Amino acid sequence: METKRHPFMKVIKDVRSLPTIPGIIAKVLLLLDDNKTSFKEISRLISSDQTLSSRILRLANSPFYRFPGHVSTIPAAMLMLGSKAIKGLVLTSIIFEMTDKNSLGYWEHSLGTATAANIIAKRLRVAKPEEVSTAALLHDIGKVIIKSKLRDDYEALLTQIKEKEVSMREAELEMFEVDHAEVGGWAVSSWGLPEVLCEPIACHHDVEKAETYRVEAAIVHLADILIKANGFGFTGDDFVPPIQPAAWEVLNVNEPFLEEITVELGHKLIEVHEFSQGIQSV
Amino acid sequence: MRNILLASAREKMILAKDIAHPSGPDRLPIYRKGTELTEALIERLAGMGIQSLAVSERSDNGEEDRDLQERLDALEYRFKRLDGNQLMMNLKGIVRKQLIYSMENDHGD
Ligand SMILES: [Fe+2]
Ligand SMILES: [Fe+2]
């Protein structure tokens, strides 16, 4: 058991092998953790970095948060989103750096899942829908990490998926004995993201494993499935995973609910598609 | 065919679906598919409160049927491993219905 899992975990968990976090972002993440730091100080630091602040504003105005009006300053974005969601956006801006220009499919999938999660979370009256959207935005980050850290294995993974017609997750478990959800979970918690984002990312394919944020994990799980069912975006394989009984149970929804979400999502995805077309140029 | 926001509509694009007045009681089409967009028409649509519309690059009628069939086949493929799962088959039905609706009816509002 340990034979494959061990070396792979070492590569991933080795801090030096993780994508490097630029100094300014590391500092922002630290400040966001520190309760004594004021909003003002954090805002000033974020605003001092042109790229970072324009990306955050662009994301804060994206179709998946659905705030009325236009968010035009960093302090306003921080007030509306809260520091945990801002932290997720800061990280999202790093992933922009990590992904190549050809990963439009990945962004469409991530932005689409964030949008679906937002629709579900609001309908279920979850306290902080922005946090669930942000977790959904980052849910497949493990795939980006596997791709960037294990280039050769990643090629082999894609070949497996095509030849055996399996999902990416099945191929990962077969080859590495861990999946991208677990890898993503390790990464984001090592970067200091709060548990409300880490657990849903780590458990989006295994909702039962979520102990504290099972509802949030189930929403990300369902949102991911709805986006795959719609064939929106692409992240390595085409197959729709089944909705897990544990997710269905904790959300306590029914099929008419699925239909309502699907209709609302259909309209929203036109907007998301246009948004993703422009996002990488930010 | 692709669905776009009205803000992205440009002259010379071809309507891929009929457009009905969003607040008209009978929703009778007022612009037929195949109509070429002009600046004036785009402005009129904006005035009617239309936010998104379907356009195609060419005014080829057979194109849409092929397009729908391709999308339905792709949907079957995505769900092909879930045959025994009733909930997932029902979800496929929901997505299928929405797909056909969005291709056949205008929902420019
Ligand atoms: Fe995933
Ligand atoms: Fe996903």
Q: Within 13 Å of residue A66, how many CA atoms lie on the same side as its CB?
A: 21
Residues in chain A with pLDDT values less than 50: 1-2, 15-16, 282
Domain region containing A229: 14-279
In 3-state terms, what secondary structure has residue B88? helix
- Could you tell me if residue B63 is inside a domain? no
CA B50, CA A274: separation in Å to the nearest integer? 17
CA A7, CA A11: separation in Å to the nearest integer? 6
The pLDDT of residue A88 is 80
The neighbourhood of ligand 2, an ion, using CB within 5 A, equals A 140, 224
CA B47, CA B41: separation in Å to the nearest integer? 10
Contact A201, A141 (CB under 8 A): yes
Burial level of A78, CB count in 10 A (0-12/13-18/19+)? buried
List, for residues A117-150, the tens digit of each pLDDT value: 999 999 999 988 888 998 999 999 899 888 877 7
Q: How many domains does chain B have?
A: 2
Q: Does A240 touch chain B (CB under 8 A)?
A: yes
- Could you tell me if residue A5 is inside a domain? no
Pull the structure tokens for residue A51: 């790229």
The conformation of residue A38, written as its DSSP 8-state character, comes to -
Pull the structure tokens for residue A69: 């009006």
CA of B92: which chain A residue's CA is closest?
A229
CA of A273: which chain B residue's CA is closest?
B4
* φ, ψ of residue B76 in degrees (nearest 5): -55, -45
Contact A59, A86 (CB under 8 A): no
Helices within chain A (DSSP H only): 2-13, 23-33, 39-47, 50-60, 74-98, 104-123, 129-137, 141-149, 151-164, 168-176, 180-190, 195-202, 214-230, 245-251, 255-279
Q: Does A257 touch chain B (CB under 8 A)?
A: no
The pLDDT of residue A251 is 97
Q: CATH number, domain at A151?
A: 1.10.3210.10
Q: B49 and B72, same structural domain?
A: no
Q: Does A249 touch chain B (CB under 8 A)?
A: no
Q: Does A166 touch chain B (CB under 8 A)?
A: no
The pLDDT of residue B43 is 86
Q: Does A238 touch chain B (CB under 8 A)?
A: yes
Q: Using the beta-carbon criterion (under 8 Å), do A238 and B77 form an inter-chain contact?
A: yes
CA A40, CA B39: separation in Å to the nearest integer? 46
Q: B74 and B52, same structural domain?
A: no
Q: Using the beta-carbon criterion (under 8 Å), do B87 and A266 form an inter-chain contact?
A: no
Q: How many domains does chain A have?
A: 1
One-letter amino acid at A7 equals P
Pull the structure tokens for residue B72: 């339905």
Q: B38 and B80, same structural domain?
A: no
- Could you tell me if residue B109 is inside a domain? no
CA B46, CA B57: separation in Å to the nearest integer? 21
The pLDDT of residue B101 is 87
The pLDDT of residue B74 is 95
Return the number of CB contacts < 8 Å for A and B.
Answer: 59
Alpha-carbon distance A268 to nearest alpha carbon in chain B (angstroms): 10
ipTM of the complex: 0.82
- Say how many Å lie between the CA of residue A251 and the centre of ligand 1: 19
Alpha-carbon distance B28 to nearest alpha carbon in chain A (angstroms): 21
- Say how many Å lie between the CA of residue A56 and the centre of ligand 2: 22
Pull the structure tokens for residue A44: 């000033």
- Which among B5, B85, B95 is the nearest to A230, CB-wise? B95
One-letter amino acid at B101 equals Y
Domain region containing B28: 2-56
A interface test, pick of B86, B91, B97, B101 with most A CB neighbours within 10 Å: B91
| Rounded (5°) CA angle A201-A239-A198 | 0
CA B20, CA B8: separation in Å to the nearest integer? 19
- Say how many Å lie between the CA of residue A117 and the centre of ligand 1: 14
Q: What is the CB neighbour count within 10 angstroms for residue B89?
A: 12
Span B73-85, average pLDDT: 94
Q: B11 and B40, same structural domain?
A: yes
Q: Does A245 touch chain B (CB under 8 A)?
A: no
Task: For residue A228, give the ligand nearest its CA.
Answer: 2
The pLDDT of residue B28 is 65
Q: B72 and B49, same structural domain?
A: no
Q: Does A34 touch chain B (CB under 8 A)?
A: no
Q: B76 and B52, same structural domain?
A: no
- Could you tell me if residue A7 is inside a domain? no
Q: What is the CB neighbour count within 10 angstroms for residue A152?
A: 7
Q: Using the beta-carbon criterion (under 8 Å), do B5 and A267 form an inter-chain contact?
A: no
- Could you tell me if residue B19 is inside a domain? yes
The pLDDT of residue B108 is 43
The pLDDT of residue B59 is 44
- Could you tell me if residue B25 is inside a domain? yes
List, for residues B31-60, the tens digit of each pLDDT value: 777 788 888 888 888 888 888 888 876 545
The pLDDT of residue A226 is 98
Question: Does residue B25 have a pLDDT over 90?
Answer: no
Task: For residue A181, give the ligand nearest its CA.
Answer: 1
Domain boundary pick from B21, B36, B56: B56
Contact B106, B22 (CB under 8 A): no
